[in-house]
Structure 1
Amino acid sequence: MPPSDETPPSAEEFASVFDAYEVRREGERVLYVGESAIPIQQLERELWPLFRERGYELSVQRGYQRTDGIPISRGEYVLVAEPNSMELDGIPRTNLLLFVATIFSTTFAGAYFWYQVPLFEKPWLAVKAWPFVVAILGVLGVHELGHYVMSRYHNVQASLPYFIPLPTYIGSMGAVIKMEGKIPDRKALFDIGAAGPLAGLAATVVVTAIGLQLDPIPAQEAAVAQAETGVRFNHPPLLELIALATGATEQLEANTIHPVVFGGWVGMLVTLLNMLPVGQLDGGHILRAMVGKQQERIAAVVPAVLFGLAAYLLVVADGIDSVGIWTMWGLFAVGLAYAGPADPIDDSELGWKRTVLGVLTFVLAALCFTPIPVEIVELA
């Protein structure tokens, strides 16, 4: 149910901008069929505050089909008002199933790749990887919860985090939340966008600092000593700064580190990628809030920069092992830039305090960058 007034606006309240000659209900939705008296691009911005105050989300559609597929309108405009309920609709089964699946996939990744557990012989020993699981799920979960909490604060509908299991070195492809409501203004867009990377970075710093105080596990040291080649995850500047601040520089420079440190490394990579200023990534939200429509011009350059970096690694820097990462994200950035950013209803200026915080957030993200994150190296 709507959080405030349960009565939707009457057609007479906005007759000066929209001539609604039919009002009907479809479940909890209220449909206003009619014609707009102002340019349609302005209509939603004009009426959204009124419906928001009454506890409804508003969208403007050209034509409308009922849930049974029968059209009630073909050419007319329809205002579709839906209750803006911030309550969870029952048990989030999909979220829970994906979270449990991600626990299993990260446990497998930690046990098999990092703790060298003989899973086929003694699968119960996989529980040894619990620190790795907590580190990975911690940095990913705190990042998404930052978005979720700030969405709730601004009364914007959003789902709980969806974790994505994948049994690789990390055990997950990350986590996402679905933004289901419109963004009221630039401040809300900025707060929701920045909360994720800032919260995630805070968790990343904690996880990394703890991991650097732990000794490498014997099974991993033995595996590295016996292998001729291995995967090396190179250190971004932020990781080196944390090691310097905690007196763990020598351990970081050694061939092996505790798997918990890798959880921090993952948090830095996730932050960096999410802060690309394109589309509806966190960086896209933040930059859109900071500079307005100019964000789209900057976003158009991002794919070229990523493709250029991939070409540089391939041709000049002998970083072929990381070429695929930047090529894939270049392609991803093309799609995101084409789709465009989230547009707030109120596009007023952001204000200097949040702008400064936005610049700081991009600086922190830059400290998570290393041109060759991953490479295959000779260990002998």
Structure 2
Amino acid sequence: MIWLLLLGLITYLFITQWVASLTRTPVWLLWLVAMLPVFVMVVWTIVFRGQTMPTQYSIVLFAGCLVLYLYLIQRGRIARSAMDTEPPVPSEPTPEIQPPNLASLRPLNPAEETSLQTCFPWSVFYLRHLEYHPQGVVCRGQLRTAPDVAYRTVRENVEAQFGDRFDVIFQEYHPGEPFFELVLNPAATIEGRNPQVLIRPGSAIVLALLTFFTTNWAGLQVVGRVPTIDALMENGLPYSIPILFFFAARSFGQFITARKYKIAITLPCFVPIIPLPFFPVGTIGAFTQLKSRIPDRKALFDIGLVGAFLGLTISIPILAWGLVQSSVVALPSQGGLFNFQALDPRFSILLAIFGKLAIGRELTPDAAIRLHPTAIAGWVGVLFTAFNLMPIGQLDGGRMIHAVFGRRIGARIGRISRFLLLGFAIVYPHLLLWAFLLLLLPALNEPTLNDVLEVDSFRDIVGLMALVILIILVLPAPKFLTTALGM
């Protein structure tokens, strides 16, 4: 049952890191729904004395829980903001402000309404009507200048009238129909006014020390050595130091980028875990948490890009150097992504090419790679980078796709991507865990403050290149490539 506890822990951390900020649905409820199929299948196996659940029942169970999981997320979104609802079509255009019928929904009194109208110059954004919601006001009208000029003008006017009471969000539901949304600002607190309060190094240092211990433990466990000075020098530190450097550099890169754009963000915190035989890693990474909204799609792209760029530029050289120190063993009948003692190089196009370049003729069709501890750190870094490059939700790839194509199209790409990966997982079972975790992620991101302003052509090209790199990292080596490499 240890694997069940580990899966439950990873799922819980996954939901708290990437899903909890998008919905008001309790984390424990989302976790329970996500883990329910696993619990039912375990109980079924126990009750029926080792018999697995029939495939048709498993499919219905997973599909039902997935639908319920996504419904709970969406229900929390609707209660939180009106930004995901399609704008109603007015019966006839009118420039007059249309008050709501329910006064209890007004976040503004009549005097503040008048002040708000003056925040929208007719030459910048011609205000037609307001829509009231419990936590904000949607301002619809016609854009009459460049998006960056309109957003800057309206935001400055709103801040002059209302201070930091509202976040000013500029987005569009349909192309060519931008609108402003004033959302009550949850960061208008001590932490929001003083981002230095978020930088509390005590817990981050403690978690880093614990992760140093668990990663050294993992390096020793892979080769089955007892903890001695020689064992730590040969197997513990050569794994622990590179993997900690990878996660720290990646997270601090995002931390520095966020601070550059004046986004409140927590210090990176490592997450140590006990290394297990089927998951001998010792950590699931280092994470930061954004505490304020991202200003625009350019900042969103750069935060995603710096994580992916640092991940690749650090993990690939580590992997390449470690492969030179690795050896060849017989290919096992059953393998996996974390079988470091006999890793099938055909799991990834990148691993196949680098493995052949590093090892040479010894890497034959019936051979696997026994990874050096440094190569293990590089391989784990490549896997983590590849997962984060997936164009879904708040992952690095999801942020870049949102920035390049817009929020709605980015969400559609994310939905298609995770079901494509699920299809690949049917053919390549080692991708099944990835497909399961990606199904837990909402495809629709929160909008940036100025979500109408597009990124430049350079970032468009880099975003498309990231998708090509993702294919090289994730997809198994095709037959023609293994034949050409003699594998």
TM over 0.5: yes
After TM superposition, give the deviation of residue 311 of structure 1 in Å. 2.1
Residues 102 and 228 (structure 1), Cα distance of their counterparts in 2 relative to 1, 3 Å cut: same
Higher share in helix = 2
RMSD of the alignment, in Å?
A: 3.9
Letter in 2 for 1:279: G
Q: Offset of 1:344 from its aligned partner?
A: 1.0
State whether residues 57 and 182 of structure 1, in contact with CA within 8 Å, keep that contact through their aligned partners in structure 2. no
Counterpart of 1:233 in structure 2 is: 343
Q: Which moved more, 1:86-95 or 1:45-54?
A: 45-54
What corresponds to 1:289 in structure 2?
A: 403
Q: How big is the shift at 1:88? A: 5.2
The aligned residue for residue 358 of structure 1 is 463
Structure 1 residue 130, shift from structure 2 partner: 0.3
Which of 140, 158, 175 lines up with 2:247 in the alignment?
140
1:95 is displaced (CA, Å) by 1.8
Q: Are positions 1:156 and 2:263 aligned together?
A: yes
Which of 260, 268, 278 is the equivalent residue of 2:392?
Answer: 278
CA distance in structure 1 between the aligned counterparts of 2:193 and 2:113, rounded to whole angstroms? 20
Using the TM superposition, name which of 295-304 and 270-279 deviates more: 295-304
Task: Write the mapping of 1:93-242 to structure 2, written as runs, cut at 5 A.
Answer: 93-114=202-223, 116-119=224-227, 122=228, 125-128=231-234, 129-166=236-273, 167=275, 168-214=279-325, 231=339, 232-235=342-345, 236-242=348-354
Which residue in 2 is equivalent to 1:87? Answer: 196
Q: What's the CA shift for 1:176? A: 1.6
- Structure 2 residues not aligned, in runs of 5+: 1-110, 119-128, 132-136, 141-150, 169-182, 478-487
Hey, what does 2:473 align to over in structure 1? 368
Distance 1:86 1:273, change over 3 A: same
Q: TM-score, normalised by structure 2?
A: 0.55
The partner residue of 1:300 within 406, 410, 415 is: 415
Distance 1:118 1:273, change over 3 A: same
Quote the Cα distance in structure 2 between the aligned partners of 1:251 and 1:199. 31
Distance 1:51 1:17 in 2: 7
In structure 2, relative to structure 1, the CA distance for the partners of 1:57 and 1:98 (3 Å cut) is farther
Per the TM alignment, residue 337 of structure 1 is displaced from its structure 2 partner at its CA by: 2.5
- Paired residues of 2:242 and 2:374 also in contact (CA < 8 A): yes
Is the CA contact 1:193–1:285 (under 8 Å) kept in the aligned structure 2? yes
Q: For 1:103-148, what per-residue CA distance to the aligned partner results, in whole angstroms no more than 9, with x for missing partners?
A: 111111101113x3224xx588445410110121122222222211
Give the match's secondary structure for 1:16: helix
Q: Deviations over 1:11-55 (max 9, x none)?
A: x99963179xxxxxxxxxxxxxxxxx8342349x78655688999
Quick one: which amino acid aligns to residue 136 of structure 1? I
Aligned runs of 1:298-337 on 2, under 5 Å?
298-313=413-428, 320=429, 322=430, 325-326=431-432, 328-337=433-442
C-alpha change, 1:164 and 1:285, in structure 2 (3 Å) is same
Distance 1:191 1:124, change over 3 A: same
Q: Do 1:117 and 1:126's aligned partners in 2 also have CA atoms closer than 8 Å?
A: no
Q: Which amino acid counterpart does residue 324 of structure 2 have in structure 1?
A: Q
Q: Indicate if the aligned counterparts of 1:146 and 1:200 stay in contact, CA closer than 8 A.
A: no
Distance across 1 between alignment mates of 2:389 and 2:361: 30
Q: Distance in 2 between matches of 1:176 and 1:90?
A: 14
Q: 1:362 to 1:294 in 2, by over 3 A?
A: same
Q: Tell me: higher relative CO, structure 1 or 2? Use CA pairs within 8 A at least 6 residues apart.
A: 1
Tell me how far 1:244 sits from its aligned partner.
5.8
> Which segment drifts farther, 134-143 or 191-200?
134-143
Gaps of 5+ in 1: 1-11, 20-36, 61-76, 314-319, 373-380
Q: Per the alignment, in what secondary structure is the counterpart of residue 474 of structure 2?
A: coil
Q: What does residue 89 of structure 2 align with?
A: none
Determine if the alignment matches structure 1 residue 17 to structure 2 residue 108: no
1:34-49 maps to which residues of 2 (within 5 A)?
Answer: 38-39=130-131, 40-42=137-139, 48=155
Alignment CA distance shift 1:89-1:273 (3 Å): closer
Q: 2:380 aligns with which of 253, 262, 266?
A: 266
Counterpart position of 1:341: 445
Q: Distance in 2 between matches of 1:297 and 1:155?
A: 29
Alpha-carbon distance in 2 for matches of 1:155, 1:214:
43
Contact 2:198 2:264 in 1 (8 A): no
More deviation in 127-136 or 349-358?
127-136
Which structure features the higher share of strand residues?
A: 1
Distance between the aligned counterparts of 1:170 and 1:309, measured in 2? 25
Shift of 1:193: 0.8
